[in-house]
Structure 1
Amino acid sequence: MTNNNNEEVIEELKRIVKQKGLKYTEQREIVLDILINAEDHLSAEDVYNQIKTKYSDSNIGIATVYRALGFLEEVNLITSIAFGTEGKKYESNAKSHHDHLICTSCGKIVEFLDDEIEKRQDRIAKKNKFKITSHSMQLYGTCKDCQEEK
């Protein structure tokens, strides 16, 4: 992802905050920046730990991270995958569309895109006179490493 793209996402955050009549906060921007630049899906604790490392001079607590994540998800700048009692893992919506394979043993997430699945979804929608505006596919199972442990 380019820095220019990152700046566009941050500008979108500023636009949304202004539109909602809210105060712009650096904390939200920092949380969004962490997720835009993340290689993996991150838990709130992962985001918090990266903030402590990357923005050591900021005074952002874990509660602020949770509030920022909730707000960013509400305005569709990030998305999450729920892990039941283990909480959620987050990623930026600035990435190109993809689906997920999720290991129910270790929590590993593999991103994939399959053109045949995408085409089939479109055909199913057309057949049923639906216009797809968005979708999310999450397939659950056990990864190779967890299968070998059993």
Structure 2
Amino acid sequence: MNLREFLKKQGLNFTKQREIIFSTLYNNPNHLTAEDLYLVIKKQHPELNIGIATVYRTLAMLEENGLISFIQCSNGKKFEISKSHHDHLICTACGKIVEFHNNEIEKLQEKIAKENSFKLTNHIMQLYGLCEECQKKEKEKL
């Protein structure tokens, strides 16, 4: 995706800071909080004059324009690039996020919507629990 062209079409300014924030999210395989993203950028681009407020404002703008989305976790909002549909497993202890896609679940959601005369336009499925590592830690505590 060409961020410069997208922002221009929206009547928004293209800046180096916005480009770096977007590309860092795009190229990072992990879901990042605003603070995590800020720290990654400061480490990878020490020459860039960027503040945490700029990161927050840019994330809000990218979200408002549908380029990114967030997942609410126990340790805050974690952001990701909006891409093909997928669902999430979220660990409530450590915040780990696992992305998955399951055709059977998708078909079942459509069936349920149809049975209720409901037309789905979008959905988000987030399943909360404990990841394998946190389950082991829980057992060790007992």
For normalisation by structure 1, the TM-score amounts to 0.83
Q: Name 2:79's counterpart in structure 1.
A: 90
Runs of 4+ with >3 A deviation: 13-16
How many residues are aligned here? 138
Q: Name 1:4's counterpart in structure 2.
A: none
Instruction: Tell me whether 1:55 sits opposite 2:16 in the alignment.
Output: no
- Distance in 2 (CA, whole Å) between partners of 1:55 and 1:110 is 28
What is the one-letter code of the residue matched to 2:31? H
> What is the 5 A alignment of 1:11-26?
11=2, 13-26=3-16
Deviations 1:20-75 (A, max 9, x none): 32322221121110111111101111111121122222111111111111111111
Secondary structure of the structure 2 residue equivalent to 1:73: helix
Instruction: Tell me whether 1:78 sits opposite 2:68 in the alignment.
Output: yes
Q: Name 1:140's counterpart in structure 2.
A: 128
Query: Please, what is the CA RMSD of the aligned residues?
Result: 1.6
Secondary structure of the structure 2 residue equivalent to 1:88: strand
- Distance in 2 (CA, whole Å) between partners of 1:66 and 1:127 is 41
- Distance in 1 (CA, whole Å) between partners of 2:12 and 2:35 is 25
For normalisation by structure 2, the TM-score amounts to 0.87
- Distance in 2 (CA, whole Å) between partners of 1:120 and 1:63 is 42
What is the one-letter code of the residue matched to 2:91? C
Contact 1:16 1:75 in 2 (8 A): no
Secondary structure of the structure 1 residue equivalent to 2:22: helix
